[in-house]
């Protein structure tokens, strides 16, 4: 009997050790990286990103590892070894002279003018651009946008009420399908119809509140929306319905938007696939192929837009959580400048990396949502020093006055099909007059490690009590991520924020030479869903690291970034291009993004699609 008990304990330990050893051996033998260099003050040193090649864990191996990682044995041996495998102890060996910057809040060079006056001017500019672009010839299939809805509403057929009825039927169908879509996971027929009827009356009186009046929109579950449960992807939060809206939701209501419900997400935003096996959520399916992930953590928001349930959704982005699912689902996604859109009313999971942003069917619709949702909020201090909006000049016939920067070594770190398509998109931008400048983005491996330290360290800090009291309620993947976050020290965190100061400075220098930085959206297309993932989740560090590759720079330094679909893989999965600009300069993103849209010859219809306006 004693021997059996001993074997019961030893087998999982040995299995976990073997997996870690294999991961370490695989990484060392196949890593692409050059050796790290000790840095000197005032000198940028180029370090290549390392390929993370830890084996994918699911099923019993994943359960064993997740359990052991949160034991004394795991915390003192397994997780520290995992840190070394992934070079997360990097900053313990580097001297960084810069003072730390704990939030990427960089005031603009000048602040002048009234924010509300500039907002009104920006909305008028966007309205004119919409009218101009309406004359473009529509392909065989295209997503409905905001202007399509408002055109129907002004004509009176269908009305917002009729649209709401169609959406409710589509929501019911999406949950009865096999497999269920699991995009919008909380919705209320009475609430939807009440908002729709009010919007219908306003259009009848020819007095809509804004360009978003009657526009179907869903909001990520990380954000408070009355009267839904604020669960943030968990099975234990939000036991009572919310009684107060987040700032962005209040703005949507004031604009007359038709909020169709709250959308699914990766639990607590800790992953990039959208896999969520807990009882309230389930895994969102990719409308282009339901056997593939949507990406995360704003998984439901991306799926809802891609399948036609709504032309606009709201997400949060701490490590690509808007842009990764937008890329995987073939829609437009914006991570705004840190602090530009108030995050009041969302869980402060990572104080220094998360920005809000829209997911939309077009760049122009993303710009419209951005214009309406931006602005200082007394309850959100990080955006109080922002400049007024300036969207003039976002639509032009060419890009002759713009210089686009490309770090080709970084750019090419992606799958061959993605590289081929994105290179063609860059060539198209060049043909439209843009100058393409070769640049070198320094210290990308340091950025990668520092971002992980900041986001996981801040999550672990915020969730300290939840982790202790609701450990059994958390998904296995979340437990593993927080176990890693528990290993970071005060020294790691301070060093990471010293790196933030360096990174902000070198980007400032780069943006004196270029208007934008161009990369692929994601280095890979949407990953396949394994059956075992649906029961217990999975750990796939390699895919997570890969999907975040082009995302972390924007989150870590606060700069805005936009992903725009540019094509499809041979298996029909979407491919996107990313455009990044200096702080507060979303206008140039929209200008380049609209030109990128013209590169794509056609939009393929998703396998799951609801034609709400027909």
Catalytic residues: 220, 297, 321
**What DSSP string runs through 321-351?**
TTHHHHHHHT-EEEEPPTTSB--TTB--SST
Q: Hey, how many other C-beta atoms are within 10 angstroms of the C-beta on 190?
A: 8
| SS3 of residue 92 by DSSP | helix
Determine the Cα–Cα distance for residues 221 and 297; give it in Å rounded to an integer.
Answer: 10
Phi, psi of 248, rounded to the nearest 5 degrees: -65, -35
Rg (CA), the chain: 23
Strand ranges (E), 221-266: 258-263
Q: Hey, how many other C-beta atoms are within 10 angstroms of the C-beta on 1?
A: 5
List the structure tokens of 111: 């602040």
Nearest Cα neighbor of 502 from 454, 463, 447 is: 447
Q: What is the 3-state secondary structure (H, E, C) of 245-257?
A: CCHHHHHHHHCCC
Question: What are the helix (H) ranges across 205-292?
Answer: 247-254
Determine the Cα–Cα distance for residues 5 and 7; give it in Å rounded to an integer.
Answer: 5
> How many CA atoms lie less than 13 Å away from 118 in the CB half-sphere?
17
List the structure tokens of 449: 């490690």
Determine the Cα–Cα distance for residues 609 and 395; give it in Å rounded to an integer.
Answer: 30
Determine the Cα–Cα distance for residues 374 and 251; give it in Å rounded to an integer.
Answer: 10
Determine the Cα–Cα distance for residues 388 and 584; give it in Å rounded to an integer.
Answer: 9
Give the max Cα distance, the chain. Answer: 81
List the structure tokens of 39: 């840095």
Determine the Cα–Cα distance for residues 506 and 514; give it in Å rounded to an integer.
Answer: 13
Given CA atoms 582, 587, 588, 592 in this order, what sign does their dihedral have? positive
Q: Give the alpha-carbon dihedral of 522, 526, 532, 534, to 10 degrees.
A: 100
Which residues are bridge partners to 317 per DSSP?
Answer: 355
* Whether the bond into 297 is cis, omega within 30 of 0: yes
Determine the Cα–Cα distance for residues 296 and 208; give it in Å rounded to an integer.
Answer: 34
Q: Alpha carbon of 604 to those of 102, 436, 600: distances in Å? A: 43, 29, 11
């Amino acid at each position: 009997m004693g021997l059996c008990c001993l074997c019961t304990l030893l087998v999982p330990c040995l299995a976990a050790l073997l997996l870690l050893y294999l991961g370490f051996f695989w990484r060392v033998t196949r890593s692409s990286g050059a050796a790290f260099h000790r840095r000197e003050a005032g000198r940028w040193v180029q370090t290549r990103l390392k390929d993370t090649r830890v084996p994918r864990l699911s099923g019993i191996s994943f359960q064993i590892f997740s359990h052991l990682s949160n034991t004394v044995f795991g915390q003192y041996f397994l997780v520290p070894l995992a840190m070394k495998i992934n070079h997360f102890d990097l900053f313990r060996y580097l001297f960084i002279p810069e003072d730390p910057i704990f939030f990427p809040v960089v005031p603009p060079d000048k602040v002048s003018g009234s924010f509300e006056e500039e907002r009104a001017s920006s909305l008028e500019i966007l309205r004119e651009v919409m009218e101009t672009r309406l004359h473009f010839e529509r392909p065989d299939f295209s997503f409905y946008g905001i202007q399509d809805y408002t055109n129907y509403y002004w004509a009176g057929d269908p009305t917002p009420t009729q649209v709401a009825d169609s959406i409710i039927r589509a929501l019911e169908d999406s949950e009865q399908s096999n497999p269920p879509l699991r995009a919008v996971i909380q919705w209320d027929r009475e609430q939807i119809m009440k908002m729709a009827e009010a919007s219908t009356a306003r259009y009848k009186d020819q007095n809509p509140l804004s360009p978003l009046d009657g526009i179907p929109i869903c909001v990520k579950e990380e954000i408070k929306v009355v009267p839904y449960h604020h669960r943030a992807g968990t099975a234990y939060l939000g036991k009572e319905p919310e009684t107060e809206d987040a700032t962005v939701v209040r703005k949507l209501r004031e604009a007359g938007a038709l909020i169709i419900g709250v959308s699914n997400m990766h639990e607590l935003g800790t992953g990039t696939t959208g896999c969520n096996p807990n009882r309230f959520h389930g895994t969102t399916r990719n409308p282009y192929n339901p056997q593939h992930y949507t990406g995360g953590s704003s998984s439901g928001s991306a799926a809802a837009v891609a399948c036609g349930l709504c032309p606009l959704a709201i997400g949060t982005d701490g490590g690509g959580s808007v842009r990764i699912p937008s890329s995987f689902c073939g829609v437009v996604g914006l991570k705004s400048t840190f602090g530009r859109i108030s995050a009041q009313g969302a869980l402060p999971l990572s104080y220094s990396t998360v920005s809000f942003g829209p997911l939309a069917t077009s760049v122009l619709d993303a710009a419209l949502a951005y214009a309406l949702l931006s602005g200082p909020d007394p309850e959100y201090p990080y955006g109080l020093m922002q400049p007024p909006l300036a969207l003039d000049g976002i639509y032009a016939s060419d890009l002759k006055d713009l210089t686009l920067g490309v770090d080709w070594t970084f750019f090419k770190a992606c799958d061959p099909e993605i590289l081929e398509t994105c290179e063609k998109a860059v060539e198209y931008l060049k043909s439209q007059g843009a100058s393409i400048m070769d640049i070198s983005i320094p210290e990308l491996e340091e950025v990668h490690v520092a971002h992980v330290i900041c986001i996981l360290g801040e999550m672990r800090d915020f969730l300290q009590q939840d982790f202790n009291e609701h450990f059994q309620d958390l998904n296995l993947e979340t437990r593993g991520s927080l176990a890693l976050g528990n290993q970071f020290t005060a020294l790691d965190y301070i060093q990471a924020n010293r790196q933030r100061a360096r990174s902000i400075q070198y980007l400032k220098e780069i943006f004196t030479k270029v208007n934008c930085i161009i990369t692929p959206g994601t280095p890979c297309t949407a990953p396949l869903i394994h059956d075992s993932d649906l029961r217990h989740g999975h750990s796939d560090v390699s895919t997570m690291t890969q999907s975040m590759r082009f995302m972390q720079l924007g989150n870590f330094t606060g700069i805005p970034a936009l992903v725009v679909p540019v094509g499809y893989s041979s298996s029909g999965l979407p491919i996107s291009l990313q455009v990044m600009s200096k702080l507060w300069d979303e206008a140039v993103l929209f200008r380049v993004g609209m030109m990128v849209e013209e590169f794509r010859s056609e939009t393929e219809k998703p396998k799951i699609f609801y034609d709400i306006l027909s």
